[in-house]
A and B are shown apart, each in its own frame.
Chain A
Amino acid sequence: AQTVTQSQPEMSVQEAETVTLSCTYDTSESDYYLFWYKQPPSRQMILVIRQEAYKQQNATENRFSVNFQKAAKSFSLKISDSQLGDAAMYFCACQGGSEKLVFGKGTKLTVNP
């Protein structure tokens, strides 16, 4: 079974600045995957970035990157050059052997102009 914890219910950032969203997880699986999903006001769930647990290299997708610390079971998301369109709820998720996604409670990100 997996558990995912997001300790920051809300975060804010100035446009063009950098922000880091925190996530910790727990799993008994040796092979698992970690994800960040974005949910804007439209409520669509959008995949932002994926990390395979067996890879040491941190995943990067344009302005989005992760800091994956396997021993600490930490998986934070860094958003660089924040844009107004980045404002959304961000969910961290873990996928183990059963393939279902287990989500954290989410972090609401506000981007100030």
Chain B
Amino acid sequence: AAGVIQSPRHLIKEKRETATLKCYPIPRHDTVYWYQQGPGQDPQFLISFYEKMQSDKGSIPDRFSAQQFSDYHSELNMSSLELGDSALYFCASSSRQGLHEQYFGPGTRLTVT
């Protein structure tokens, strides 16, 4: 079965640079979630989109923005990167017609040097 696809899998950036993370949800899933997992931490919710509209917002810095496109893929844009942004970024998708189950992608490991 098709899973959530994230790209790139690994990304190394310098401080103050910009990064763009991409997420391709499971086909026919209409909702995308972004989570950030720091070293030794649990995943923290950043933002979600349903049918291309922002549906919820968590502890996402103002330096970050995201959107969902007409083909349901989503992008997380991160600017003015800081050392503390180094983390594993997960995208998850679900269907509101389904069982409220969120399926996670493999994550993008971002390292800021």
Contacts and interface: CB of A to CB of B under 8 A. Distances in A.
B71 interface: no
Contacts of A99: 31, 33, 48, 55-56, 94, 100
B7 to A, nearest CB: 15
Interface of B: 31, 33, 35, 37, 41-45, 48, 55-56, 58, 88, 90, 92, 94, 99-104, 106-107, 109
Majority secondary structure of chain B interface residues (helix, strand, loop or mixed): strand
Binding site secondary structure of chain A? strand
A103 B56 contact: no
A95 interface: yes
A106 B39 CA distance: 13
Contacts of A52: 100
A106 B37 CA distance: 12
Interface stretch (A15-23, A40-48, A65-73, A75-83): A40-48
A11 interface: no
8 contacts: A37-B104, A45-B92, A47-B101, A47-B102, A99-B56, A100-B48, A100-B56, A105-B41
B90 A50 contact: no
Contacts of A45: 43, 90, 92, 104, 107
Contacts, number: 59
A54 B106 CA distance: 31
Nearest to A47: B101
Contacts of B41: 105
A44 B104 contact: yes
Nearest to B44: A103
A101 interface: yes
A28 interface: no
Given A43-B109, A44-B106, A104-B42, 11 more contacts: A35-B101, A45-B90, A45-B92, A47-B101, A47-B102, A50-B99, A95-B102, A99-B31, A100-B58, A101-B35, A101-B45
A98 B43 CA distance: 16
